[in-house]
Chain A
Amino acid sequence: MPFSQRVVALGIRHPRAITASMVISALLLIAAVAIPTLLPGSLPLPPVRVDTDPENMLSRTEPVRLYHDSMKKVFDLNEIIVVGVVNDSHPEGVFNPETLRQVYELTEYAKTLRGEVIGLDDPMAGVVPMDIIAPSTVDNIEQGGPGEVKFEWLMKEPPATEEEALAVRDRAAKIPFLQGTLVSESGKALAIYLPITSKDLSYRIYSKLQKKIAEFPGAEQWHITGLPVANDTFGVEMFIQMAISAPLAMLVIFLLMLYFFRKFVLILAPMLLAVYVVVVNMGLLIVTGNTIHIMSSMIPIFIMPISILDSIHILSFFFDRYQKFKDRRKAIEHVMDTLFSAMLYTSLTSAAGFASLAITPIPPVQIFGIYVAIGIMIAWFFTMTFIPAYIMLLPERTLARFGSMISEEDDSGPDTSTRLGRLLAGAGVFTFRHARIVLVGAVLLGVVAAYGISKIQVNDNPTRWFKHSHPIRVADRVLNEHFGGTYMAYLALQPESTGPELGEYAVDLEARLRRTVDEMNLDEEPKNALLAIASLLHEKGAETQTIQELRQMLHKEADDRLNAASEALMTADPEDSVAESLVEAWEDLLLFLDMEEQRNEIFKQPEALAYLEKLQNKLLETNVVGKSNSLTDIVKTVYRELMEGNADYFTIPETARAVAQCLITFESSHRPQDLGHFVSHDFRETSLWVQLKSGNNQDMKYVTEVMDAFIAENPPPFGLKHHWFGLTYINVVWQEKMVIGMLNAFLGSFLIVLLMMTVLFRSGLWGLISMIPLTVTIALIYGVVGLMGKDYDMPVAVLSSLTLGLAVDFAIHFLSRSREYHDLKGNWEGAYPLVYGEPVRAITRNVIAVAIGFTPLLAAPLVPYNTVGFFMAGILACAGLSTLFFLPALIKVLEKLLFPQDKICRITCRCGTCVVTAVIATATVALNVQQFLDMTWTGLSLVSLVVVLASGTVCFFMSRRESCKTVSDEK
């Protein structure tokens, strides 16, 4: 018994066993998921875990993530929730006692949002109170009176009068760190920044804040945004979404099938099957310890249409044939026999298409691809067994009035009794009569698609996963209008090397020492004494091994001389100014030597601070960056206030000592820890805070490109190197990986499917033709994406695999049945009307059922689901139409080539097919090997070329062997 019959026989002979095994396996998996989730720890199995963090698009060990984490530690940075308030009704905006009272109250409330209050055991988890940026938690530095510097809270308590409220605004306006960050330039808005210990707490905190805000009376509009909130909220809504969309989609598909087949009991089977496949698939996903990510949450939506496709083919055929057999067993055996290989191949190709996602470098996409592929194969197996089993379990009488009543002797051909039948028949005639016009149309479409593809913009923005009207989107818009930007990225500067070599250093040190001594304006005697130290550099310097030792040696020598000078001073005549000036000279020299120790504190050097300032100016020129904050801003502000608030001193002080003294003054405030957010404890690394007005990856990418170019042209001092970190930047990195990864995955799966098609049809030409609907569909879909100006984002990227899976299905069914009918009738003219009968009806039913079935996704409040819904319909329509029009037109034109007279159908007997197969196989292997082994393309290409040449030679001889001789050859 051939494989096909053995599989099908399972269902037909043991219908109860098949059904029972499905019920039991589903229940077991449900239990295996539900028990650990509801009663944690009761079973050694993982519970349901949700992961909506786009950061996880990259593996945890991805360098950019490791760097991000290490920098967050160095600078003690947290992810931030931004709460904004806008007051348009008060003439002074938010700067009135009432609004500021609310701001104060909300800040105080936010401070409590950690530990138990938000339901956590760890008392430190949640909002980090000491790093909150709010009017009542930040310091103001200003003039208290003549020569007096004042540090105080910007708004210690809510102001009682209008004047006091305005004073808060005016004070903030003078602090560059606050203007545009805390306070909008218009004065209409104010923002509070809440750092949180972990991103996945944002939704809890968001909800608590919303509740508190709801208690406030008045005309203020409150907004909450920030990437962590967007991510976490997405997760929560995603779940709601899954619970609504997937069942709704099922319902619509069910109603459509009811319309097509009019037999409730019969269509129940594919619905049950789809539910079963989804349950088993998601169950396996969870039991194996995978998280439900944005990608894997879409698995049910992908599995369902694909698992229903085959069932519809079977039912459609069964519907058309049942009345001919009037015996369910014979009818189903006939149906399965006819469709088996097509269905096997469609499933294998779809599975291969999705499995190819496993070679993308993005873990959630890999999981998604693998599990959809597994789901497809589970669906295939149970379609082959359960659908026949189900039909066998139905009493024959329930089918009495089932199916198409017109029963002709042979294959039915076009069904003219229905509108759909007539329409399809007409389409068949059209493709036969106007094949060339159809093909010209295809070429024109291809040109339009190519133009569209050239316009594609690669971009994503996790905030835009929400609809335009969603509170998070609204908050995002409003706050970015008023402030420097709510999207944070950080530009870190670090020295690459640890410092100069000893010899090089000694030379520089001597020069600096001599210059310093010169600048002291000393008399001859002390000057020569000091310069003797410089000559020691030569005499004793050779004995030292390290810079540290060299400095210690000099320090000791100078210290000894200072002590001697001090002792001389004690005994000297009080009027002796020489003795005293000698002591002072040695003290100054020791200071110089001690300052040498601090030379590696790069970010106290005015030169380094000036470079930061230059970077900041360049950042502002991009227009994407609304504001940036750096150590330089802090130094300049403190310097100005120390110099009596004189705006002329809003500059970088001239010496490293002056910078250090400004910084220690800053540290004497309420928030000394703020310094650590900008510079590392050793002053060798700095982070520049960049506030972007948009979370678009392309904007962030643009900023990085501009800065790369700028830094290349203006090399930083001290051999500093720059690196980006921050969530906004991480999004760019994973997106770039995704685009390239998806392209590779698509190429890989395209080749695998092409190889399978060539094998299936035993012909390179047929293989290529079968790829046409999916090629056209993908071109058109991405062409439309480009023409519409829709960003190429994560959901759009995944669509290519879906297209591959669905479009090739239709092509396989269409072509395999075409071949069958061509064999039967001997020519295409006779065959095509039959093809446009049952086979095309099945394809059309599939297109309609699945396309319409997923329209409920359009109503979802989350954009990725809308995108999938919209393009799902588009893909099906495109794939269906290109199968029904372009394939028959091609067959008509290429009939002689496609149906040669010799009938030997072995790949090895056709030289061309054999070579094509070898090339595709080699390319497929090469593409995958490259992904896994990181081999260089040059090496791989050479190996591939050798393999192709070798197999070409083998093909040449194989196709000329005796057993391949056909009747026509002999003639």
Chain B
Amino acid sequence: MIKHAKMMLLATCLITLTCSALAQDAPSVDEIIKKANHAAYYQGSDGRAKVKMSIKDKQGNVREREFFILRRNADDKDEEQQFYVYFNSPADVREMVFMVWKHVGKDDDRWLYLPALDAVRQIAATDKRTSFVGSTFFYEDVSGRSIEEDVHELVETTDNFYVIKNVPKNPGSVEFDSYKVYIHKTTFIPVKVEYEKGGNIYRVGEAQKVDTIDGFPTVTKNVMKDLNSGSETTIEYLKVDYNVGIPENIYTERFMRRAPRQYLN
């Protein structure tokens, strides 16, 4: 009995030792996730990008869309945020605007302005895992998935990456069982993400190009492949600026209907 207890003690010590050794090497899972979330969505006080999106279908046909994203952080806790997406091309959707007020802890607010219908509509955001304008990216990929929605686990540390497995807290709200993110150790840029259902990886996102812009490591080419449909979408960030000073009042219905020209070139 005594012998047993000694063994247990030893084992506990060993585990503790290992853990603390690791902790010195690497930040905690929460820390990694927070840094990655910041690196991916919250750098600078605001950001502006001209984006070219190429949607390639199974047959290899490509459709292109071009739009501007104006992002503004509404707090410094990496939580509240606003997005203004102005479509420039193709011409028939020019002046269309998609706007998001991103919240943590409750559903986002989303609006759509359709110039040809002369209508601003609120889009219910109960389900954020729908296609972003016909691409293989979801709305959630564009505005960011709240880190509160998953349970994170560091499953592997490689030379360059922390590999985090994320399991949804509410599995009914998403189409995947879990997803793995490969986070770059120094920049904390999520470089690769793999979504899995029933043991099969069916959706893979990859940052194919990272540039340092205004001192911020920035993903400038991003690809999302849907292995089920055989389609893939490439997003290229042609022009990126940080700390532009986008005023808050841009994120209103008035400016959806009348685009702020000075921020969109």
A and B interact: yes
A150 to B112: give the CA distance in the assembly, Å: 12
Determine if A660 is an interface residue (Cβ-Cβ < 8 Å): yes
9 cross-chain pairs, A with B, having the tightest CB-CB distances, nearest first = A667-B134, A594-B91, A660-B92, A150-B124, A658-B116, A657-B116, A144-B124, A681-B61, A148-B122
Task: Let me know if A147 and B91 touch, CB within 8 A.
Answer: no
Determine if B45 is an interface residue (Cβ-Cβ < 8 Å): no
Task: Let me know if B96 and A661 touch, CB within 8 A.
Answer: yes
Interface membership of chain B positions 204-248, coded 1 if the CB is closer than 8 angstroms to chain A and 0 otherwise: 000000000000000000000000110100000000000000000
Q: Which of A657, A668, A673 contacts B229 (CB 8 A)?
A: A673
A669 to B132: give the CA distance in the assembly, Å: 8
Q: List 9 A-B contacts (CB under 8 A).
A: A130-B228, A139-B130, A145-B124, A151-B124, A655-B116, A657-B115, A667-B133, A681-B57, A681-B59
Task: Let me know if A149 and B123 touch, CB within 8 A.
Answer: yes
Determine if A664 is an interface residue (Cβ-Cβ < 8 Å): yes
Q: Which of B57, B91, B122 contacts A144 (CB 8 A)?
A: B122
A703 to B231: give the CA distance in the assembly, Å: 35
Task: Let me know if A147 and B121 touch, CB within 8 A.
Answer: yes
Determine if A604 is an interface residue (Cβ-Cβ < 8 Å): yes
Task: Let me know if A643 and B59 touch, CB within 8 A.
Answer: no
Q: Give every chain A residue within 8 A of B120 (Cβ-Cβ).
A: 147
Q: Give every chain B residue within 8 A of A152 (Cβ-Cβ).
A: 124, 126-127
Interface membership of chain A positions 583-603, coded 1 if the CB is closer than 8 angstroms to chain B and 0 otherwise: 100000001001101100100
Determine if B172 is an interface residue (Cβ-Cβ < 8 Å): yes
Determine if B252 is an interface residue (Cβ-Cβ < 8 Å): no
Task: Let me know if A129 and B96 touch, CB within 8 A.
Answer: no
A binding-site residues for B, Cβ under 8 Å: 73-74, 76, 112, 123-124, 129-130, 139, 144-145, 147-153, 156-157, 583, 591, 594-595, 597-598, 601, 604, 639, 642-643, 653, 655-662, 664-665, 667-670, 672-673, 675-676, 680-682
A124 to B229: give the CA distance in the assembly, Å: 10
Task: Let me know if B91 and A597 touch, CB within 8 A.
Answer: yes
Supplied contacts A150-B123, A151-B124, A669-B131, 14 more A-B pairs, CB within 8 Å: A76-B58, A139-B130, A149-B122, A151-B123, A594-B94, A657-B92, A657-B93, A660-B92, A661-B96, A661-B115, A662-B117, A664-B133, A668-B131, A680-B61
Task: Let me know if B132 and A642 touch, CB within 8 A.
Answer: no
Task: Let me know if B231 and A665 touch, CB within 8 A.
Answer: no
A664 to B130: give the CA distance in the assembly, Å: 13
Task: Let me know if A676 and B92 touch, CB within 8 A.
Answer: no
A237 to B172: give the CA distance in the assembly, Å: 42
Task: Let me know if B91 and A682 touch, CB within 8 A.
Answer: no
Q: In the complex, which residue of chain A has the Cβ closest to the Cβ of B90?
A: A598
Task: Let me know if B123 and A157 touch, CB within 8 A.
Answer: no
B binding-site residues for A, Cβ under 8 Å: 57-59, 61-63, 89-94, 96, 112, 114-117, 119-124, 126-127, 129-135, 139, 172, 198, 200, 228-229, 231, 261
Q: Give every chain B residue within 8 A of A76 (Cβ-Cβ).
A: 57-59
Q: Which of B57, B62, B116, B123 contacts A676 (CB 8 A)?
A: B57
Q: A703 to chain B: closest CB distance in Å?
A: 29
Q: In the complex, which residue of chain A has the Cβ closest to the Cβ of B56?
A: A681
Task: Let me know if B93 and A660 touch, CB within 8 A.
Answer: yes
A667 to B231: give the CA distance in the assembly, Å: 14
Q: Which of A123, A145, A595, A662 contacts B91 (CB 8 A)?
A: A595
Task: Let me know if B90 and A660 touch, CB within 8 A.
Answer: yes
Q: Give every chain A residue within 8 A of B91 (Cβ-Cβ).
A: 591, 594-595, 597-598
Task: Let me know if A656 and B92 touch, CB within 8 A.
Answer: yes
Q: B8 to chain A: closest CB distance in Å?
A: 43
Task: Let me know if B122 and A661 touch, CB within 8 A.
Answer: no
Q: Give every chain A residue within 8 A of B63 (Cβ-Cβ).
A: 681
Q: Which of B58, B91, B129, B228 has the most CB of A within 10 A?
A: B91
Q: B242 to chain A: closest CB distance in Å?
A: 24
Q: Which of A130, A139, A658, A672 contacts B134 (CB 8 A)?
A: A672
Q: In the complex, which residue of chain A has the Cβ closest to the Cβ of B198?
A: A112
Q: In the complex, which residue of chain B has the Cβ closest to the Cβ of A595?
A: B91
A670 to B132: give the CA distance in the assembly, Å: 9
Q: Give every chain B residue within 8 A of A123 (Cβ-Cβ).
A: 200
Task: Let me know if A668 and B124 touch, CB within 8 A.
Answer: no
Q: In the complex, which residue of chain B has the Cβ closest to the Cβ of A663?
A: B134
Task: Let me know if B114 and A665 touch, CB within 8 A.
Answer: yes
A536 to B57: give the CA distance in the assembly, Å: 39
Task: Let me know if B57 and A604 touch, CB within 8 A.
Answer: no
A664 to B97: give the CA distance in the assembly, Å: 12
Q: B248 to chain A: closest CB distance in Å?
A: 21
Q: Give every chain B residue within 8 A of A157 (Cβ-Cβ).
A: 172
Task: Let me know if B121 and A642 touch, CB within 8 A.
Answer: yes
A604 to B63: give the CA distance in the assembly, Å: 15
Q: Give every chain B residue within 8 A of A670 (Cβ-Cβ).
A: 127, 129-131
A571 to B264: give the CA distance in the assembly, Å: 18
Task: Let me know if A151 and B117 touch, CB within 8 A.
Answer: no
Q: Give every chain A residue within 8 A of B96 (Cβ-Cβ).
A: 661, 664
Task: Let me know if A73 and B115 touch, CB within 8 A.
Answer: no
A682 to B57: give the CA distance in the assembly, Å: 12
Task: Let me know if A668 and B115 touch, CB within 8 A.
Answer: no
Q: Give every chain A residue within 8 A of B90 (Cβ-Cβ).
A: 594, 597-598, 660
Q: In the complex, which residue of chain A has the Cβ closest to the Cβ of B60?
A: A681
Q: Give every chain A residue within 8 A of B261 (Cβ-Cβ).
A: 583
Q: In the complex, which residue of chain B has the Cβ closest to the Cβ of A670?
A: B130
Q: A480 to chain B: closest CB distance in Å?
A: 31
Task: Let me know if A595 and B122 touch, CB within 8 A.
Answer: no
Q: In the complex, which residue of chain B has the Cβ closest to the Cβ of A124?
A: B228
Task: Let me know if A149 and B121 touch, CB within 8 A.
Answer: yes
Q: B82 to chain A: closest CB distance in Å?
A: 19
Q: In the complex, which residue of chain B has the Cβ closest to the Cβ of A142?
A: B124
Q: Give every chain A residue within 8 A of B121 (Cβ-Cβ).
A: 147-149, 642
Q: Give every chain A residue within 8 A of B126 (Cβ-Cβ).
A: 150, 152
Q: Give every chain A residue within 8 A of B132 (Cβ-Cβ).
A: 668
A598 to B91: give the CA distance in the assembly, Å: 8
Task: Let me know if B130 and A151 touch, CB within 8 A.
Answer: yes
Task: Let me know if A664 and B134 touch, CB within 8 A.
Answer: yes
Q: Which of A123, A662, A664 has the most CB of B within 10 A?
A: A664
Q: A932 to chain B: closest CB distance in Å?
A: 38
Q: Which of A643, A653, A661, A668 contacts B130 (CB 8 A)?
A: A668
Q: Give every chain A residue within 8 A of B117 (Cβ-Cβ).
A: 639, 642-643, 653, 658, 661-662
